[in-house]
């Protein structure tokens, strides 16, 4: 019997939640079913809320330092869930993983350097380096039999003396791949040989589905450990993105000192009281909640897959190996991307992420967030079915 009620509909309107309160601004309609930005519609583990409430009762919120308990919660979680033993000095708070990537770009590259990404991929990987006047080079993933794989040979061919950084999405967003040890070792070997620093965004790492198991990039070899910066967070795992509780893990002492100095020079390495408390509470007490959440999410994924196969076979769900995000292949609808977006937004009244935002390979796709009560998914699929049927009738 479930201990947590993931079917509960929680009204997020009026809480300044981007997912719902920005619908009018982003999509032109505030009344869409919101299945886009990557946070969930589930209440976070009770231990998180209870810890924050208890601390609020104290009534004084002065300057706050980290604690042994905070660091130990991270160390124990990563070891327990990902078989990676990390040391306390490897860890530093960062005020968000996207910000951490921006700091790494600033710290380790210059404007004449190139940053390699593997699209279609989380769009800040392209946006952040571009805004920092770095050249972004695509090494597109290969889509084969409904499954992404890395183009290792393509990576070797595009590397040149200006190549200084590779941003890895591990697990992958939006495709949901949990990269294998062999794939990660291949990237580690190539990047080590060519002195290309790997930035591994592992924010979805805790959400891998059995039989898949997340493998931290830095854990696959000494080359990977000595040539990488890993970013992790409890934010996607426990639905606490608004609290901002990310951290970096850097085994290499020289890289660590450079990055930590970069952070401390602008006082960016210090978190706030609730970031520390929420992360510790989630990691120390969130295992049971996470098991149930992942089970619920997987059932939602299966519902979408089965519904599409039975009712809208022109749209195919790429079953994620991790995360609550589902990459929808809509190419068989034979629509221009603008018309595809209009089908979802204007006809089906659904807010999803436009595949184009993820770069090369995103055309013809949409990203669906299933981290929401099943009732919302059911309504969304029914809306989409009616919209597609109407569109086909009018053609």
Domains of the chain: 18-45+287-388 (3.90.1150.10), 60-285 (3.40.640.10)
How far apart CA 22 and CA 4 sit, in angstroms, is: 28
pLDDT in single tens digits along all 395 residues of the chain: 689 999 999 999 999 999 999 999 999 999 999 999 999 999 999 999 999 999 999 999 999 999 999 999 999 999 999 999 999 999 999 999 999 999 999 999 999 999 999 999 999 999 999 999 999 999 999 999 999 999 999 999 999 999 999 999 999 999 999 999 999 999 999 999 999 999 999 999 999 999 999 999 999 999 999 999 999 999 999 999 999 999 999 999 999 999 999 999 998 999 999 999 999 999 999 999 999 999 999 999 999 999 999 999 999 999 999 999 999 999 999 999 999 999 999 999 999 999 999 999 999 999 999 999 999 999 999 999 999 999 877 76
* Sign of the alpha-carbon dihedral angle for 278, 283, 286, 290: positive
């Amino acid at each position: 019997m479930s201990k947590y009620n993931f079917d509960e509909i929680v009204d997020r309107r009026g809480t300044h939640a981007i997912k719902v309160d920005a619908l009018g601004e982003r999509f032109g309609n505030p009344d869409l079913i919101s299945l886009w930005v990557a946070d969930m519609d589930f209440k976070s583990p009770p231990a998180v809320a209870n810890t924050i409430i208890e601390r609020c009762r104290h009534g004084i919120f002065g300057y706050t330092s980290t604690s042994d308990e905070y660091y130990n919660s991270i160390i124990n979680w990563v070891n327990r869930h990902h078989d990676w033993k990390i040391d306390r000095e490897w860890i530093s708070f960062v005020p968000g993983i996207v910000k951490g990537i921006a700091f790494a770009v600033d710290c380790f590259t210059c404007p004449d350097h190139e940053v390699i990404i593997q699209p279609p991929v989380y769009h800040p990987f392209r946006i952040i380096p571009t805004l920092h006047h770095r050249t972004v080079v695509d090494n597109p993933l290969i889509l084969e039999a409904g499954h992404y794989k890395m183009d290792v040979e393509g990576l070797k061919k595009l590397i040149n003396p200006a190549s200084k950084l590779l941003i890895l999405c591990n697990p992958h967003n939006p495709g949901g791949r949990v990269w294998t040890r062999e794939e990660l070792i291949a990237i580690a070997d190539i990047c080590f040989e060519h002195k290309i620093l790997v930035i591994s965004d592992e924010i979805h790492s805790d959400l891998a589905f059995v039989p898949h198991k997340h493998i931290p990039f830095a854990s696959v070899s000494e080359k990977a450990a000595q040539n990488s910066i890993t970013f992790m967070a409890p934010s996607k795992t426990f639905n606490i993105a608004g609290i901002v509780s990310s951290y970096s893990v850097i085994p290499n002492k020289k890289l660590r000192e450079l990055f930590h100095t970069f952070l401390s020079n602008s006082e960016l390495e210090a978190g706030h009281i609730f970031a520390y408390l929420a992360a510790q509470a989630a990691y120390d007490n969130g295992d049971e909640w996470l098991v149930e959440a992942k089970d619920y999410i997987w059932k939602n994924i299966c519902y979408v897959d089965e519904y599409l196969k039975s009712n809208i076979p022109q749209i195919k769900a790429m079953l994620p190996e991790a995360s609550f995000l589902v990459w929808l292949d809509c190419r068989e609808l034979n629509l221009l991307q603008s018309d595809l977006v209009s089908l979802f937004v204007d006809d089906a009244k659904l807010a999803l992420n436009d595949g184009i935002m993820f770069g090369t390979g995103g055309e013809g796709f949409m990203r669906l967030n299933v981290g929401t009560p099943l009732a919302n998914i059911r309504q969304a699929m029914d809306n989409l079915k009616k919209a597609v049927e109407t569109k086909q009738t009018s053609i």
